[in-house]
Structure 1
Amino acid sequence: MEPMEVNLVDQDFYARRGAPHDQFRRLRANAPVFWHEGDAERGWPGFWAVTKHEDVVHVSRRSDLFSSYRRLALFNELPDEQVELQRLMLLNQDPPEHTRRRSLVNRGFTPRVIGRLEEHIRDICRQLIDEAEQLPEVDFVRDVAAPLPLYVICELLGAPVEDRDKIFEWSNRLIGSEDPDYAASPEEGQAAAMEVYAYADALAAARKEAGPRDDIVTKLLRPDDSGEVLGQDEFDLFVLLLIVAGNETTRNAASGGMLAMFEHPAQWARLVADPSLAARTADEIVRWVSPVNLFRRTATADTEIRGQKISEGDKVVVFYGSANRDEDVFDLPDVFDIARDPNPHIGFGGGGAHFCLGNHLAKLELKVLFEVLAERFPDIRQTGAATRLRSNFINGIKTLPVSLRP
């Protein structure tokens, strides 16, 4: 490979231009398992950047070789005492402990349970669009993409709809600690986490006092068939994970998907003409946007990927945004095609233990939202520049000004 500067974790680049697809493309072709220099000032060690679809799937499915538990699943390095607490979160566990705990929470996310929400989600989308239509200026993120998953999370938690604003604010502080518009420091993100834990404690206490309801909190607090139950810390951390994962992925897929439609108007016209494409549209949006850009693993033994030797303890980072444009897997990967079929994207993870628990819910929300938008506002248009989140973790859009009518 010709010498080139490689920096796949520069938050300022993501804020200016989004994912570094030019760098991804060259790495896939020339150095698909690439030793990426660290940043001593930030306390980031060097790491192996894994950019090919097949290899991301391999790392994802081999929890025995690539651990989420050793140094957690997020990119940033944390002090040992924080690592210990975060290991209680499902995201940061390996089988068999992960398998046990996931079985406890999976009860609320089966396709059957999620399928029952479709008409309710359709009503939420219509209500949001009715409200946005009355506004003098519409920001697609603030007024449509962000409130949708927040309403749904409140529904899942059995929380008052009025809580959606503080859930939105917590999520911004948790994910946006590197973005000056959302948080001044990582410490503020930690403070938001503590507020979420207190909120989860209050939800659990209220449910125990008022009795069971038909919501996920009740399901999570009940023992399963074998008598297993989530501890209080485990429950708090799951609510935190739900608030972040359930909000950020759908919000940014929806806003990134709408931006993609503006950039590819023929695809929007295609959806307007044939709303039956909405399910495939949802999948293509997730592939194209890749709302979660990366996750980290730690090698548990000396191993190899594509002939590249990796030592025990090495930091290994998988890039979904790159894998989802792998030329060996996708025909015309840099073309946004809402009818793409097959579409083996890994926007919900590469399979294995950590495949996204809420993938059915996220796809349903996207499918219904774009069906309703195409029906109600076929002439929606962009009226100003989109602004992007300063983050190498979430491929996020902060603002997207639109006009709903000509």
Structure 2
Amino acid sequence: MGLADPAFWQLPPAARLDAFASLRRLDRPAYFVERPATWLRPEQGFYALVTHDDVVRASRLPQVFASAPGVTTPEPAGWVRFLFGDSMVNLDAPHHTQLRRVVSRAFTPRLLAAADEDIRRVAARIVDDMIAERPGEFVASVASRMPFEVICNLMGIPEHYRPEIAGRVDHASENVGVERGIATRLRVPGRGLRALARMHLMMATLGRERRRRPTGDLISALVGADVDGQALDARQLGAFFSLLMVAGVETTRNAITHALALLTDHPEQRALLASDFDRYADGAVDEILRHSTPIIQFRRTVRAEYSLGGRTFRPGDKVVLYYASANRDEAVFPDPDAFDITRSPNPHLGYGGGGPHFCLGAHLARQEIKALFRELLSRPRALRAVGVPELAGSNFDNRVRALRFAFDPPAP
């Protein structure tokens, strides 16, 4: 069973980690066949980059290991890219450089300072609601709400749009990288594209409104930005919003959910974090991201001949960067399967391997995780996971469908 086999991603997490450990011991990146050759088409496959060094080096050589035509599996169809525009994750220089510059300049110090304050308010409100309502399931009631509300507030999304957007995000992303039955395979793509189209229409409407009447939010900054004569048009705004909502909400809610499970399974680490939150919080976030690795892999297309990890790659070859494997590399992380919030150094690849595609939302995600767990650990009754996270079996992200939780009994 190989990495291209959907059944591999249904294995228990420990079995998958053992398989990656075996791949890291090979003298060169292994090759996996995705589609055998037929008389109509040649064989399709990829080389797996599984060591920390290989993933970092490939990430920082975009002129060799290109993101276009797409970083996901399967790569986006040409007609989808034409209709909805290219997401930044699927672009290379100079288009990626130009678009990222526009977006980066929209994140002004004033906007980020306001976002930090809002994150603290949102975290307190969510924990208050959880204590009052006692919902019992963590993903929907806590982990999903945190990044969704923060991003909507940052963007300036009106309240009446938000319920529909939340549903559209779930529809657009619920089956990414997950093996499905034939009926679902025929049905879900259309539903996902309809959800994506609806979000783009919403953004086009809001973009027009903010151009006429800026309100100081991120949408206003993006449509008002003008870098080297370039401002975000409606398609670019829609593509950015889709990336921010699907990637930003999914990855952060999964990290938050895995964090509760990890701190429950390692009470000594939880006690250490609670004993001096300001001292240990940054290390805890780093270790959560290393241990749970929200994005499992991204794909690259080789543009120029290059030797890496004992193998020479040629133009047209496909490689897959496995961050989940790189974050357990024994050559970089002693006792890599241990969960240790004091681990130092901790050069995890939870936000990518560096280079031009380093996650734009890294600061925002870190602040959200810290703010939420500061609130959770400061309340009188401790929260704990019940059972194990219900994983989606995705080969793309470390997605959690559900996690039950409960409060510890009150102290006598």
TM-score (normalised: structure 1): 0.91
The one-letter amino acid of 1:239's match is: F
Provide the alpha-carbon RMSD of the alignment. Answer: 2.5
Q: CA deviation at 1:141?
A: 0.7
Trace 1:271-286 onto structure 2 (pairs within 5 A).
Answer: 271-276=273-278, 277-286=280-289
> Separation in 1 of the partners of 2:305 and 2:113?
43
Runs of at least 5 residues in structure 2 that lack an aligned partner in the other structure: none
- In structure 2, C-alpha distance between the alignment counterparts of 1:313 and 1:382, rounded to whole Å: 45
Asked whether the 8 Å contact 1:86–1:92 carries over to 2, the reply is no
Q: Distance in 1 between matches of 2:351 and 2:72?
A: 15
Partner of 1:10: 6
CA distance in 1: counterparts of 2:15 and 2:364, whole angstroms: 25
SS at match of 1:383: strand
Conservation of the 8 A alpha-carbon contact between 1:377 and 1:404: no
Alignment deviations for residues 341-375 of structure 1 (CA, whole Å, 9 cap, x no partner): 22111110111110001111011111111111111
Give me the identity figure in percent.
Answer: 35
CA offsets 1:109-168 (integer angstroms, 9 cap, x no match): 366643442232111111111111122432111111100001111111101245443333
Partner of 1:234: 236
1:11 offset after TM fit, Å? 6.3
Q: Of 242, 256, 262, which residue of structure 2 is paired with 1:254?
A: 256
Asked if structure 2 preserves the Cα contact closer than 8 Å seen for 1:14 and 1:388, the reply is no
Match for 2:31: what amino acid? W
Match 2:135 to one of 137, 149, 153: 137
In structure 2, how many angstroms separate the alpha carbons of the residues matched to 1:350 and 1:168? Answer: 29
Deviation at 1:36, TM superposition (A): 1.3
- How far the C-alpha of 1:58 sits from its partner, in A, is 1.1
- Equivalent residue letter for 2:257: S
Residue aligning to 1:380: 383
Cα distance change, pair 383–137 in 1 and its aligned pair in 2 (3 A) = farther
Q: 1:378 to 1:341 in 2, by over 3 A?
A: farther
The aligned residue for residue 24 of structure 1 is 20
- Structure 2 CA distance for aligned equivalents of residues 215 and 27 of structure 1: 46
**Maintained 8 Å contact 1:384/1:400:** yes
CA distance in 2, matches of 1:110, 1:14: 43
Deviations 1:171-230 (A, max 9, x none): 222222255799952222112111111111121122234x11111101110132533211
Distance apart, 1:93 and its partner CA: 0.7
Within 5 Å, give how 1:315-354 maps onto structure 2: 315-354=318-357
Q: Partner amino acid for 2:16?
A: P
Distance 1:338 1:15 in 2: 27
Question: CA offsets, 1:24-45, max 9 Å, x none?
Answer: 111111255110121459x992
Please report how far the alpha carbon of residue 54 of structure 1 lies from its aligned counterpart in structure 2 after TM superposition.
1.0
Is this contact kept in 2: 1:201–1:232, CA < 8 A? yes
Offset of residue 405 of structure 1: 3.7
Is contact 1:60-1:351 (8 Å) kept? yes
Aligned pair in 2 of structure 1 residues 165, 22: CA closer, same or farther (>3 Å)? farther
Query: Equivalents in 2 of 1:28, 1:111: separation in Å?
Result: 41
**Deviation for aligned residue 1:169:** 2.0
Closer/same/farther in 2, CA of residues 122 and 403 from structure 1, 3 Å limit: same
- Does the Cα contact within 8 Å between 2:302 and 2:315 map onto a contact in 1? yes
Which of 220, 234, 237 in structure 1 is aligned with 2:222? 220
Task: Select 1:270's aligned residue among 251, 254, 272.
Answer: 272
Q: 1:270 to 1:363 in 2, by over 3 A?
A: same
Identify unmatched segments of 5+ residues in structure 1. none
CA–CA separation in structure 1 for the residues paired with 2:15 and 2:219: 36
State the secondary structure of the residue aligned to 2:232: coil
Q: 2:356 aligns to what SS in structure 1?
A: coil
Number of the residue aligned with 2:118: 120
| Cα distance in structure 2, aligned partners of 1:188 and 1:283 | 35
Residue 78 and residue 98 in structure 1: after superposition, are their counterparts in 2 closer, same or farther (change >3 A)?
A: closer
Question: Greater CA deviation, 160-169 or 5-14?
Answer: 5-14
| Contact 1:171-1:248 within 8 A present in 2 as well | no
Contact 1:48–1:316 (CA<8 Å) still a contact in 2? yes
Q: Is the CA contact 2:261–2:388 (under 8 Å) kept in the aligned structure 1?
A: no
Cα drift, residue 8 of structure 1: 5.7
Q: Which amino acid aligns with 1:400?
A: L
Determine the C-alpha separation between the residues in 1 that align with 2:131 and 2:7.
34
Q: Could you tell which deviates more after superposition, 288-297 or 271-280?
A: 271-280
1:19–1:120 CA distance, 2 compared to 1 (3 A)? farther
TM-score by length of 2: 0.90
State the shift of 1:288 in Å: 1.0
Report if aligned partners of 2:376, 2:382 keep a CA contact under 8 Å in 1.
Answer: no
- Distance change (3 Å), C-alpha of 1:53 and 1:35: same
> Is the 8 Å Cα contact of residues 59 and 354 (structure 2) preserved in structure 1?
yes
- The AA in structure 1 aligned to 2:221 is K
Give the deviation of 1:92 after TM superposition. Answer: 0.9
1:306 matched to 2:302? The reply is no
Stretch deviating more after TM superposition (278-287 or 79-88)? 79-88
8 Å CA contact 2:290, 2:350 repeated in 1: yes
Q: Cα offset for 1:333?
A: 1.3
Decide which moves more: 49-58 or 265-274.
265-274
Query: Which shifted more, 212-221 or 104-113?
Result: 104-113
Residue in 1 that maps onto 2:197:
194
Structure 1 residue 240: Cα displacement? 0.9
Per-residue CA deviation, residues 34-77 of structure 1 (Å, 9 max, x unaligned), is: 10121459x992101100111111111111111112x2111213
Displacement, 1:79? 3.3
Find out whether 1:401 has 2:397 as its counterpart. no
Deviation at 1:330, TM superposition (A): 1.4
